[in-house]
Structure formats: structure tokens, C-alpha cells
Amino acid sequence: MIWVFGDYRNYFQNRVTLQLLAKARSLAEDSGALVCAVALGHGVDEYVREYIAHGADRVYVMDHPALAAYSAATFAALLAGLAKTHRPEIILVGATDFGRELAPRVARRLDTGLTADCVDLSINEDGLLKQTAPAFGGNLLAEIVTPRHRPQMATVRPGIFAELPHDDQRRGERVDAPPPDPMPADPATLVESVFAPRRDQRLEEARVVICGGRGMGSRARFRRLYELAGLLNGEVGATRPVVYAGWADHEALVGQAGRQIKPRLLFSFGISGAIQHTAAIHDAEFIIAVNKNPEAPMMKMADVAIVADAGQVSAALIKQLKERLRKHS
Ligand SMILES: Cc1cc2nc3c(=O)[nH]c(=O)nc-3n(C[C@H](O)[C@H](O)[C@H](O)COP(=O)(O)OP(=O)(O)OC[C@H]3O[C@@H](n4cnc5c(N)ncnc54)[C@H](O)[C@@H]3O)c2cc1C
């Protein structure tokens, strides 16, 4: 069995689990090994289906409310426990910030080796996992095998392998592992989880901007705009009340006191259209505004004005885009 740890945070941007499933499939070609994903968390059904559609034959699931937030210590204890029971030959983990915390802890618990930050993987003539990783500051590529200990463990950088196309017809098995009671403790306590938006491009240069205003209603609803921006390869902008409320950082402020933008496509969700804001969006080529109030100045300025709840329209758009992405991936 080849196991791939399911790292599903920031799912639409972080595809490393799917990339590793694809690689695991090619590693399993000769040996006929079963390719398995491991999903620890709470309410992870959606990811189970995704992993199967992207190449997993089997998904081990441990579902428990205590696993809703990622914890390196707890997840390491659970993954190591599952590995002791089911004895995979290989465990692959994405070299994300979390994966880099998790994998060494698991390797320590299983008393096996781990090659970090691999850039290639193959099976050698002895049937061992050949793990290629940069060494000596990247000047050399080392080929590493784990001949005596099991499982053979590697972390792999995101973006090295290509994921397989999504295949709705693929069938796989789901194995539910009972959560231990009590859960393994984590000496660290999660006090707060802070969302750090990824900014790939300058707001001023972005071709697609998703702007949100007070009408988004809450921080949680506003934050979904980042998901929408990710799907549209755009950036998120905000009005002043949103920045003051702490839903977005000051960098996102669009207007007289913030940034001037000139996107080809501008979404405006729950924004009234005060002059201090609109002064900065006159160069937008096409504006789609969503507001409950058809009389709002923003709606008058828009090319397409949708009278609706901004949270509902943005959520529906995200859903549609994800479905399209799935069909075309
Ligand atoms: C000197 C000065 C400088 C300023 N600089 C800036 C600046 O740079 N940028 C800036 O943005 N502002 C700036 N402002 C503030 C500006 O005047 C407005 O107060 C601000 O732009 C309003 O933000 P808003 O549209 O998010 O909120 P609101 O004006 O409160 O509008 C919220 C809108 O959401 C709609 N709505 C409510 N619920 C929903 C729902 N469920 N679904 C859909 N729509 C809904 C409402 O109908 C309303 O139109 C400045 C003000 C001053 C005095």
C-alpha cells in the first residue's frame, strides 16, 4: 500500500495531495500496490470523493469534531497509529508548512526514515522507493533509499507532479477508522487561527477584482470572496467599513484613501457606491454589482446590476465555478 496524507486546507490552491496521488498511481504501476489517501478531520466527505476521483483506491477516514482544526501533534499520533495497524509500505506527505511539521513526527513514532522536500520519486531495481532530494544547499541531488525500516517516508514539494484529471466515474473504498478515546493530546492550544490572504498580484494591476462592502454582512461571508478570487485568478478589494471592521487588511482598501484599480472585470458585492469608493473604480471595464437595494449608486454605475443577497450570489458563483473546474480538470 502507498499512503498519501490528505492535506485539504486551502483546497483549491493547494493541490499537493492530488499531485501525490497521481505520483503514487505511477509508483504502484509495477507492484500493483493499493493507492490510499488518509483524511483526518471533521466533515471530510467531500474530500473523500475528491481523492477517489483523483486516483485513490481507498480512503482511510477518521472523523471527529476534535479534528476540525489541524494539529501536528494529534494528527501525527493518529497517522502513526493507523500506519501501525495497516502497515503501508510508503507514506507520502506534501511539503506544505503543515506537512513539514507532521511528517517528521510520524517518522519518529514509527522509527523510520524520512526524506524531506523530495523533487522526484521512483521505484528502484530492488523495489525500494528512490527519493531524490536537493542536498548541500541545492548544489547536489541526493538519491536516498530506506532499505531496512518501514514505511518509507517522503515529503514532496507542491507543484512537482501533475494531478490526474478528475474522474467522477472512478470508484474506491472508504474505510472509517474509529477515533481513539481519549484523543491524543496536543501540548499546544490553538488560541486563534488568523486567515492570511495570499496576494499574488498588485490590486492595481489585477485583471479581475472582487470588491466587498458592508453588505457582505460578516467576516466569514466576506472571507469567501478570497475563495472566489482564487477561482477567478483575481484579487480582493474592500470598502472602508470592511477594513475598519477587520474583515480585510488595509492593503485591500479601494478608494480615495486606498488604491485605484482598473480591472477588466470588477465584482462589487454589497457596496453602496459612495463617491470616495467609486472615484477609484472609474477605469474598470466591466462592473457586476450585487446589492439588495436597486437604487444604490453602485447599481446605477454597474454594467450588470443584480438585486440579491451578496453572500448568496457569491456562494452560488463559487459553487458553479468549482463544478466547472471539476468537470474540466
Ligand atoms: C475622507 C473620507 C475618505 C474615504 N475613503 C474611502 C475609501 O478610500 N474607500 C471606501 O470604500 N470608502 C471610503 N470612505 C467611506 C465612504 O464614504 C463610504 O462610507 C464607504 O465606501 C461605504 O462602504 P460600503 O459601501 O461597504 O458600506 P455602506 O455604505 O454601508 O453600504 C452597504 C451596501 O450594502 C447593501 N447591502 C446590505 N445588505 C446586503 C446584502 N445582504 N446583500 C447585498 N447588499 C446588501 C446596502 O444596500 C448598501 O448599499 C471615505 C470617507 C471619507 C469621509
- How far does residue 50's CA lie from ligand 1's centre (Å)? 39
135-136-139-143 Cα dihedral, nearest 10 degrees = -30
> pTM for the complete prediction?
0.62
- How far does residue 321's CA lie from ligand 1's centre (Å)? 27
End-to-end, the C-alpha distance of the chain in Å comes to: 26
Query: Would you say the CB of residue 255 lies under 6 angstroms from ligand 1?
Result: yes
Amino acid 72: pLDDT: 93
User: Average pLDDT, stretch 305-322?
Assistant: 95
Which among 147, 64, 85 is positioned nearest to 112, based on CA atoms?
A: 147
Query: Would you say the CB of residue 258 lies under 6 angstroms from ligand 1?
Result: yes
Name the percent of the chain lying above pLDDT 90: 74
Query: Would you say the CB of residue 39 lies under 6 angstroms from ligand 1?
Result: no
236 shares its domain with 293? yes
148 shares its domain with 9? yes
Strand-pair partners of 60:
38, 175
Amino acid 199: pLDDT: 63
Query: Would you say the CB of residue 271 lies under 6 angstroms from ligand 1?
Result: yes
In a domain, 249, yes or no: yes
Min mean pLDDT across 117-121, 266-270, 300-304 is at 117-121
- How far does residue 9's CA lie from ligand 1's centre (Å)? 32
Atom number of ligand 1 nearest to Cα 254: 9
Amino acid 323: pLDDT: 83
- How far does residue 278's CA lie from ligand 1's centre (Å)? 10
pLDDT band at 135 (very low <50, low <70, confident <90, very high): confident
- Domain boundary residue, one of 122, 154, 176: 176
Amino acid 77: pLDDT: 97
In a domain, 107, yes or no: yes
Amino acid 329: pLDDT: 57
Q: Which residues of 209-240 are buried (b: 16+ CB within 10 A; e: fewer)?
A: bbbbbbbbbeeebbbbbbbbbbbbebbbbbbb
130 shares its domain with 247? no
29 shares its domain with 142? yes
pLDDT band at 191 (very low <50, low <70, confident <90, very high): confident
Pocket test for ligand 1, best of 260, 276, 307 (most atoms within 8 A of CB): 276
Residue type, 96: T
- How far does residue 216's CA lie from ligand 1's centre (Å)? 11
Whose CA is closest to atom 48 on ligand 1?
272
Give the three-class secondary structure for 2.
Answer: strand
Read off the CATH number of the domain in which 294 is found: 3.40.50.1220
137 shares its domain with 248? no
pLDDT band at 197 (very low <50, low <70, confident <90, very high): low
Amino acid 113: pLDDT: 96
User: Average pLDDT, stretch 77-97?
Assistant: 96
Query: Would you say the CB of residue 239 lies under 6 angstroms from ligand 1?
Result: yes
102 shares its domain with 236? no
Amino acid 14: pLDDT: 73
Report whether pLDDT(196) > 70: no
150 shares its domain with 257? no
162 shares its domain with 287? no
64 shares its domain with 139? yes
Amino acid 274: pLDDT: 95
**Strand (E) positions, 68-214?**
90-94, 114-118, 120-123, 129-135, 140-144, 152-156, 173-176, 208-212
Containing structural domain, residue 98:
2-176
- How far does residue 318's CA lie from ligand 1's centre (Å)? 23
- How far does residue 239's CA lie from ligand 1's centre (Å)? 6
- Domain boundary residue, one of 176, 192, 218: 176
> What is the number of domains present in the chain?
2
